[in-house]
Chains A and B, each alone.
Chain A
Amino acid sequence: DAGVIQSPRHEVTEMGQEVTLRCKPISGHNSLFWYRQTMMRGLELLIYFNNNVPIDDSGMPEDRFSAKMPNASFSTLKIQPSEPRDSAVYFCASSFKQPGAVRDGYTFGSGTRLTVV
């Protein structure tokens, strides 16, 4: 298995532009998570999905952020319009939602480093 695949690896954009981050979870995993990592705030959970359904988006910072999971193999995180304070590393992670499987850990993608100038 290729693991969790995120694209792009790096994104530099101008303030006000729309940014779309993409994630392909591990095949068979039914939970997907979007995290944001910054020096100041550490790793923050933005939103997570179970079986493609958003369960909790309370971590999404503002209405400028939106996430979708149209099918089990694809998710997007969109920022529109982007601002310099959105600069961070965005991680996608996936897992099984089964009590026994959770001890295998949550598999993270390599992250997308977003810079908004």
Chain B
Amino acid sequence: AQKITQTQPGMFVQEKEAVTLDCTYDTSDPSYGLFWYKQPSSGEMIFLIYQGSYDQQNATEGRYSLNFQKARKSANLVISASQLGDSAMYFCAFWFSGGYNKLIFGAGTRLAVHP
């Protein structure tokens, strides 16, 4: 069965420092993708970054980067130079080619950025 796990219910980081949010997944499907979404207190779901299983390089989008370790089945999100506005819930989500395009979410990690 396809499964995605976020083991950190909460994290905190000092402003301007980097933080890593963990995500592991389990699948036997060779074609899949990992997403990270941000949910601020206002409630909307904001797409941050995507990594495909066949991508040769780790994905980057501005201050967000994905530490993709395929053999270990992990796709950790790295936020560099944290800002107060980064305080939010962060969800790792997983898509696989045999799943008709559906997205499965992890439990989420609440990040607090301290000044």
Contacts and interface: CB of A to CB of B under 8 A. Distances in A.
Interface in A28-62: 31, 33, 35, 42-43, 45, 48, 50, 55-56
Interface stretch (B20-28, B75-83, B104-112): B104-112
Is chain A's binding surface mostly helix, strand, loop or mixed?
strand
Interface residues of B, number: 22
Contacts, number: 58
Interface residues of A, number: 26
Interface in B43-85: 43-45, 47, 50, 52
Given A42-B105, A110-B44, A111-B44, A103 B100 contact: no
Contacts of A55: 100, 102
Contact of A48 (B50, B100, B105): B100
Contacts of A31: 101
